Amino acid sequence: MERMKIVDIKTRSPFEGLFRIREEVVDAIGKDMEKNGYDESLPIIIWKEGQVVVDGHMRLRAARKAKLEEIPVVKRSFKDEDEALEYAVHNQRDRRNLADAQILRVVEWLDERKKRGRPEKFTSSEVNLGRSSQITAQKIGTSATKVEKVRTILGHADEKTKAAVKNGTMTIQEGYRKTQEKRNPEKSAPAKVAEQIKSVKEILNCRKHCATCLRLHGVGHFLRVARNMECQIVAPKGMKPKKGKAL
């Protein structure tokens, strides 16, 4: 570990924008640094060959807000940018569970990197898809199902939905639901299903009361009440009471 002047520390994409930084958290850390100084146990990680910050962007911004001149850094060697990025993801995952917005960004980045390289070949595209989701899920510490939902959002959601998940104002589950509703309006309409369930319950409840009405007052009274209530299920138009058939 060594100390380095903040003005000499460089940041750049894709490391800088990989994880969302909340300004209120930066402000809080900065105030703590003003009071207690920089925590030496949490140095900034710099890619030795690339001379760029790999891990510690939030701490670096907080140190700048606190107007510190020097902070501790550790320079590590990585064979390439991909290895350095995987290290950053690993560190973030181990410190805390990734938020949905972070998961989406990381999956997007990993998939883009994969397209540039050589994808592994399997006997079935479904096997390939399942294996890919599992590998990605292990890297970022989430489930394969969640990775598949993220890929559905990235591949099929409108820009508004994508942006909402990326900036943390919408969860992956909500973004996935909205995307699937637009893709399959007939199959993915929970509101319609709920309405149908409600209607069935109302019908069953109605029939329960109708049976009581028939038993106590007879068909004639029952039909008059049903028609006044516009009940098409139990009293369709054209139905006439039969004399002497009270229940």
pLDDT tens digits, residue range 113-168?
Answer: 777 664 444 334 433 555 788 888 888 888 889 999 999 999 999 999 999 998 88
Q: How many CB atoms lie within 10 A of CB 93?
A: 17
Q: Which residues contact 233 (CB under 8 A, 6 or more apart)?
A: 203, 206, 207
- N-term to C-term CA, the chain: 92
d(CA 55, CA 16): 9
205 falls in which pLDDT band (50, 70, 90)? Answer: low
d(CA 20, CA 16): 9
Q: What is the DSSP letter of 99?
A: P
CA distances from residue 129 to 111, 119, 123, 139, 196 in whole angstroms, order as listed: 12, 11, 11, 16, 35
Strand 70-76 and strand 2-5: pairing? Answer: antiparallel
Q: Which residues contact 3 (CB under 8 A, 6 or more apart)?
A: 70, 71, 72, 73
Q: What is the pLDDT of residue 37?
A: 94
CATH number of 1-96: 3.90.1530
d(CA 247, CA 245): 6
Q: Full-prediction pTM beyond 0.85?
A: no
**Which region among 68-72, 170-174, 243-247 has the lowest average model confidence (pLDDT)?**
243-247
178 falls in which pLDDT band (50, 70, 90)? Answer: very high
d(CA 64, CA 48): 22
Q: What stretch of H or E contains 86?
A: helix 81-95
Q: Where are the domains of the chain?
A: 1-96, 98-188, 189-247
Going by C-alpha positions, the residue among 107, 183, 177, 117 that lies closest to residue 148 is 107
Tell me which residue has tokens 């969302």.
Answer: 20
Three-state SS string across 137-190, please?
HHHHCCCHHHHHHHHHHHHHCCHHHHHHHHCCCCCHHHHHHHHHHHHCCCCCCH
**Which region among 117-131, 172-186, 192-206 has the lowest average model confidence (pLDDT)?**
117-131
